[in-house]
Structures are given as C-alpha cells and as structure tokens.
Amino acid sequence: MMLASTYRHYLGSRRATLLAITLAALASFWVLGLNPLRLFSGNNLTLTGDFLLSAFRPALDYQKPVEGAEPFLLTVINTTLRTLRFALLAMSVAIPCGALLALLASTAWWPDIRRHRMLGWVLRPFCLASRVVMAFARSIHELIWGLLFITAMGLSTDAAIIAVAIPYSGILAKIYSEMFEEHSREAQRALRAIGAGSIAAFLTGLLPRALPDLITYTFYRLECAVRTAAVFGFVGIETIGYRIKLASDEFHYREIWTYLYVLFALIIIIEWWSRALRKRMGA
C-alpha cells in the first residue's frame, strides 16, 4: 500500500503514459532506422522545395499539352465528379448495412429480457454474430478488400464499391452501436414507464437524441469515402488518385497540386455541410 503510493507519487498515470509513448516511439524509430539527417541528404531538399513551390502555382492547363486531348479543366471536373460518385455509391451501400448491423449489435431497443427470457435467447446470438462480423469487416483495409476482389474476379465497378462498403459498414456499425449505448436513456425509460413498447421507445426516446451525432459521424465517413475514392485511383478507377499518379510519373507537380486542392475543397464543403446540419438540429 505504502509502496504503491510512493510509486504513484513519482510516476503518476500521466507521467507513466507519456513515458511509455515516448519509449515506444523511440523504439519504433530505431526499428525503422529513421535518421532525421537522412531527410536532408542528397537532393531531397531541392525536390521537396520544387514540390512545395508548385503549391503556389496549381496548373490550369496541362504542363505539356498534347494536341487533341481533353481540355485540362474538363478532365479535372470529370475526375472530381467520378471521385464523388464513387464515394456516394460506396456510402449508399455502407449506411444501410452499417445501420442494420448496429441495430443487431446493440441492446438499446431490446425489450426487458428479464421478463422475456426466450426472446433474450433468440436475440443474443444475433448480437454476438453481428459484433464478430463488424470486427472482421473492419480489420481488413478497404484497399486489401479491393485487392482480394480484383485477384478473385477482376476489376469492376461493383467489386470496387463492395470492397469499400464492407469495411465501412463495419466501422459505421461499430460507431452507431456505441452511440446507441452511450446516449442517456432517461427519455426512453420515461416512455417505457408510461406504456410505450420497447421499439417505439427506442425510436422516439433514444434515436432523436443520437441523431445529430449519427449524422455528424456519417458525414465524417463520407469525407473518408471521398479520400478512399481518390486512393482507388491507384487500383485503376479514374478518380483523383489515378490523375495524381499519371502527373507524378511525369513530374508534373503543378497538376498534382490542382488535384490536391480539389480534394481539399471537397473536404471543406462536406465539413461545412455537416456543421450547418448539426447547428440546425440544435446539438
């Protein structure tokens, strides 16, 4: 007891946590052989400088225009729309799947299982199963799902959408179910007490309270989906990533920056929209 308190005195939980993180970080640097000096060696600095300076002059036309090619800005617009569409497609599959999994995994809408024992025995396996599905779907990255689908069946629109939708459903389900569990149950209990059924009490007592958080998180996921859609360009779908890859192969840094700014603008619009919605929902 005494010993524990003296130890506490010298190494409180804060100091212990910081120390552990610092040590782990140093060990990681050592394992990876990260030497800060290497960042400044060779022509790293000049290349980085070139790249960063291009940020001030994003391209408005091809850096090396080719006769008869689609005008640059038109390509940018088409690529942006395709990126956005990919994100919307993936999210429109992931949201219903995630919501369903979340409902199965959460106990918030359950009737009192102390009184309906049979029902409890029916619901529990579903709850457990959906949690396992959620964890598994989430633990494999969307690009790896994509790679698996491509090796198994070849690239197609559907394969790419499903590859993104699987992990996204898992993540959405996890967060949704946590939100169902975390929100205060007072209104729900009050409704139950005056005779509302368990599902009605969930729909009217808990869901409206959780809705602003659910929407905010869904919008954040849409933002992630836009980024993922951009990354899927590296797999072969002509989204922003595809154009960045092409431009990078020819060292057209200014074209790259145009696409990076487009991505930035998309993210800002989504964030602004999510904020405006949240404000108007009184949260």
Partner 1 sequence: MSTQAEETRLARIAHLRRQQPRPKFLYLSLLAIMLAGGWAWTAGDLYPSVLTDSQRSANLERFIGKLTPAPVRASGDWSDFRPWAMELLIEGEALKAVGMTLALATAAAALSGFFALLFIPGAARNLSAPRPLGITGGRSAFPLIWGIIHKVIRLAFVFTRSLPEYILGFLLISILGPDPWALVLALAIHNFGILGRLGSEVVENAPPRPARTVIAHGGGRLGAYLTAILPESFNRMIVYFFYRWETCVREATVLGMLGVISLGFLITNAKAARSFDQMVFFVLLGALIVLAGDLLSLLVRRWLRVER
Q: Which residues bind partner 1 (CB under 8 A)?
A: 13-14, 17, 21-22, 24-25, 27-29, 31-34, 38-39, 44, 47-48, 51, 82, 84-86, 88-89, 92, 135-136, 138-141, 143-144, 147-148, 151-157, 160, 227-228, 230-231, 234, 236-238, 241, 244-245, 248, 256, 260, 263-264, 266-268, 271, 273, 276-277, 280-281
Residue 70: phi, psi to the nearest 5?
Answer: -60, 135
CB of 173 to partner 1, least distance (A): 14
Residue type, 125: P
Residue among 62 and 234 whose Cβ is closer to partner 1: 234
* Beta carbons of 235 and 150 less than 8 angstroms apart: yes
- Cβ nearer to partner 1, comparing 16 with 73: 16
Which residue lies nearer to partner 1 by CB, 133 or 198?
Answer: 133
What secondary structure letter does DSSP report for 71? P
**Shortest Å, Cβ 147 to partner 1:** 6
Q: Supply the minimum distance, in Å, between the C-beta of residue 199 and partner 1.
A: 22
In the block, tokens 């308190």 appear at 5
- Judged by beta carbon, residue 116 or residue 278, the one nearer partner 1 is 278
Nearest approach, Cβ of residue 175 and partner 1 (Å): 11
The residue (of 27 and 122) whose beta carbon lies closer to partner 1 is 27
Terminal Cα-to-Cα distance of the chain (whole angstroms)? 46
Which of 82/254 has CB closer to partner 1? 82
Using CA atoms, how far apart are residues 20 and 176, in angstroms rounded to an integer?
A: 31
* Helical axes 157-182 vs 142-153, angle rounded to 10°: 150
Least distance (Å) between residue 60 CB and partner 1: 20
Give the shortest CB-226-to-partner 1 separation in angstroms. Answer: 9
Who's near 240: CB < 8 A, 6+ residues apart? 79, 80, 83, 229, 230, 233, 259, 262, 263
For the bound state, the minimum distance from the C-beta of residue 115 to partner 1, rounded and expressed in Å, comes to 31
Asked if residues 223 and 264 have their Cβ atoms less than 8 Å apart, the reply is no
Q: Tell me the residue ranges of DSSP E strands in 16-63.
A: none
Contact assessment for residue 137 and residue 129, using Cβ atoms and an 8 Å cutoff: no
Closer Cβ to partner 1, 198 or 222, answer by number: 222
Q: Answer yes or no: are the C-beta atoms of 86 and 163 closer than 8 Å.
A: no
Q: Which is nearer to partner 1, 103 or 262 (CB)?
A: 262
Contact yes or no for 229/165 (Cβ under 8 A): no
Separation of alpha carbons 143 and 140, rounded Å: 8
CB of 126 to partner 1, least distance (A): 21
Cα–Cα distance for residue pair 243/223, rounded to 1 Å: 19
